[in-house]
A and B are shown apart, each in its own frame.
Chain A
Amino acid sequence: MVLPDVLPDVLAYLPAISPGALVAQFLVGLSRSMILFLVASGLTLILGVLRVINFAHGSLYMIGAFLGFSVFSMLGSGSTGFWLALLVAPLGVALLGLLMERGLLRYIYAREHLLQALLTFAVLLILGDLVKLTWGVGWKSISPPDFLTGSFLVFGLPVPRYNMFLIIVGFLVAIGLWLFIDKTRMGKITRAAAADREMVGTLGINAGWVFAVVFVIGAWLAGLGGALIAPTITITPGMDIGLIIEAFLIVIIGGMGNIWGALLGALIIGLAHSFGVLFWSQFSIVFPYVIAAIVLIVRPSGLLKSTW
């Protein structure tokens, strides 16, 4: 298919799109952006401070969803189960993150990136198989409480209520992260460690401890993303792989190590996808990659300042 052939079709279709469709598509895209932001912000935080390319970050997201399912079904699949799943699953993943950082990653900080990538890639494979051993290969699902199910109408077109909930939670987490990084001592140390970790060590701050905390926060964010998205998808092994690619794309677009870059990147990818589907659905898959390519050509270090 050649571009000029389909372009008239696309243009002819444009006036037919109602304002309701634009708003619905915007809200649905925004909710996806929020999940992407949760996962990508953790990834970029780890990348910025620890300087480790964590391929296993998608696995942490997947485990968040599976843990959420376990908590949800153990508590009788009701709304209590849902809220506790959102609380417990990310904490469980944070604990796993702590074990991963203290048990494996801290031994390789001084090594070259290739070796670090090899290790985190190995962890991705191991966690993938452990998930299969623990939860089996069957499809799982979580139901949100009644008031979050179904949809409401925007200009006559339905928008799922749960997606609105995702947007709210996403904004709350973004504000929480901003408060943590800008207003707390720990946040200041984190920023300093990202800029110059040797200097932080020289000042008598235990850099190893800073790294552990950052990794745990990153893991918690990934776990929260997994637990939050669970009601909108089918939870299966393999959900880690698709997401990690998108998350890396976002980190690269936004500037490696920059949390606001991750937010910007997530908004771009999420909205490009959802409007791409509306305007030109057969090419919607390529939009995120085209944007990433353009950003890399115009600003190779990402849209915002990279800490690398």
Chain B
Amino acid sequence: MKPKGVLKGVILVAVALVMAVALFVPGCAPAAPTGGVIKVGVLHCYSGPPGAFGREGTNGFQMGVDEINAAGGVLGRTIEFTTRDTKFKPDIALSMAKELVMMEKVDILVGTMNSAGALAVSEYAKGEKVPFIVWQSQSERITGEFGHRYVFSVVPNTRIWGKSIAEFEAKQPYTKYWTGGDDYEYGHAIDNAFWRYLKQLKPEVEEMGETWWKPGEPDLAPYFTAILAAKPEAVLLCPGGASASNVWKVAKTTGLAEAVHLVIPVNMDNTVISAVGLEGAEGVLSNTNYLWYYPETRENMAYVKRFYDAYGGYPGFCAFSGYTTAYWIKAAFEKAGSVDIEKFIDAMEGLKIDSPVGKIEMRAYDHQVIAPIFVGVTKRVPEYNVIQADIIATVPGKDVMPPIEEIKKARGEL
């Protein structure tokens, strides 16, 4: 046995294994040829802990696209999409965006979960004059400081999340707060927005301290027991990714939810909270922009049933973003009456569409969606084996939008 031959063999095996792995990565299949189609390039994360959100968002989009195509498409064309896995990394999101535009010749880019990725793709889309619809990244800078003609956001941003919940928290009797969450842009951005408004509404509140853990930290118990040791009256937690779900569980097992008044913005989303079954904390103040069980309107119930029949689960806010994205695209092309991209952008500005939660609007100035926010308090619902929310208010979108002056200031236009 010659060593050289063996080495060659090992290298061959290694190459074969790498190729085998590459086959499993979603989105590597060659796209169908164009012709009478509107091509959409979807950038989303299907890897690691955030993959749960990614799969659901693309499922929602798929369902919307299928419905639109079955009803005759848009301007006589069908919508087709190709998707790429960003692996939650900004550099991969950007290179995949370039590949989709240059090689796949997509007309519209959609997606991203990671805000840094959204900002990178947005900058590229601006240069290429390709519309980019952001459906899950929630940094307020996407349509604020770094907004431009070609980028749209169909999901509430961190500022909207923080403001909509701070207004309800201000009515609570607590003044001594502790804050914490996943130590990255998203977590800190929600915390900042929350504090900005809570301080404004109730100047006597005091932040005793902060506890931030690395994103995806599996072991939250020592953080929560340390917070308890400081004896705050209320705690604000801003988790993301896989910890989003885990906080519900650990807040219960460590007794944090019972010992203090707990506020966890955004995370009463179904995908996040249903993962822990009945093991989630109760009595927690939270908010979201979509719930499958509220409002109980005909439109929402019909949408939930279609989604459940198609994917065997209840839709969360990612599916809602994906689903409405398909309808934003359809409505804008129909309003434009043409597949011209500049006309598509003009049509998107100020556009209103019907959604499972009612009419939603694309604000013309900053391209940020105006949609209702639901605020609620969590409770056990044994018949579904989950924690759900008692909705205490539906905040109209226009009440929590950043004022145009604020956007102008952030962009240096004032």
Q: Interface of A with B (CB < 8 Å)?
A: 16-18, 20-21, 24-25, 28-29, 31-32, 77, 108, 111, 115, 118-119, 122, 125-126, 129, 132-133, 136-141, 143, 149-151, 157-163, 229, 232-234, 236-239, 241-243, 273-274, 277-278, 281-282, 284-285
Minimum CB–CB distance for A240 against chain B, Å: 10
Chain B residues closer than 8 Å to A149, beta-carbon distance: 253, 279
13 examples of A-B residue contacts, CB within 8 angstroms: A25-B226, A28-B221, A32-B222, A126-B21, A137-B47, A143-B278, A149-B253, A157-B229, A158-B225, A234-B249, A243-B218, A278-B222, A278-B229
CB neighbours (8 Å) of A139 from chain B are: 49, 52, 242, 245, 271-272, 275
Chain A contact residues: over half helix, strand or loop, or mixed? helix
The answer to whether A138 and B52 have CB atoms under 8 Å apart is yes
Kindly list chain B residues whose C-beta atoms are within 8 Å of the C-beta of A18: 229
B219 touches A126 (CB 8 A): no
Which B residue's beta carbon lies closest to that of A275?
B222
Where the two chains meet, the residues of B that have a C-beta atom closer than 8 Å to any C-beta of A are 10, 14, 17-18, 20-21, 24-25, 46-49, 51-52, 54-55, 210-214, 216, 218-219, 221-223, 225-226, 228-230, 242-243, 245-246, 249-250, 252-255, 259, 271-272, 275-279, 313, 385
- Asked whether A232 and B277 contact (CB < 8 A) given A137-B51, A157-B225, A238-B48, the answer is no
Judging by beta carbons under 8 Å apart, are A122 and B250 in contact?
no
Q: How far is the CA of A230 from the CA of B313 in the complex (A)?
A: 22
Bound Cα distance from A241 to B52, whole angstroms: 17
Assuming the contacts A158-B228, A236-B48, asked whether A25 and B253 have C-beta atoms less than 8 A apart, the reply is: no
Question: Which 10 pairs from chain A and chain B are nearest by CB?
Answer: A21-B229, A158-B255, A137-B51, A238-B48, A139-B275, A274-B222, A236-B49, A160-B253, A129-B24, A234-B245
Could you tell me if B226 and A281 are in contact, using CB atoms closer than 8 angstroms?
Answer: yes
With A and B bound together, what is the CA distance between A162 and B226 in angstroms?
18
Known interface pairs A138-B55, A158-B254, A158-B255; A242-B216 also in contact (CB < 8 Å): yes
Q: Which B residues are in CB contact (< 8 Å) with A162?
A: 253
Rounded to whole angstroms, the CA-CA distance of A252 and B223 in the bound complex is 26
Write out the residue numbers on chain A whose beta carbons fall within 8 Å of the beta carbon of B21: 122, 125-126, 129
Please give me the residue from chain B that is nearest to A236 by CB atom.
B49
With both beta carbons as reference points, the residue of chain A lying nearest to B259 in the complex is identified as A158
Evaluate whether A234 and B242 lie within 8 angstroms (CB atoms) in the complex, with A277-B223, A281-B212 already known: yes
Closest-by-CB residue of B relative to A281 is: B211
- Which residues does chain B contribute within 8 Å of A137, judged by CB atoms? 46-47, 51-52, 54-55
Partner of A237, one of B51, B218, B245, B276: B51
CB-CB under 8 A from B242, the residues of chain A are 139, 233-234, 236, 238-239
Known: A122-B14, A237-B47. A141 touches B222 (CB 8 A): no
Least distance between B88 CB and chain A CB atoms (Å)? 9
**Residues from chain A with Cβ under 8 Å of B54 in the complex:** 137
In the complex, what distance in Å separates the CA atom of A242 from the CA atom of B293? Answer: 35
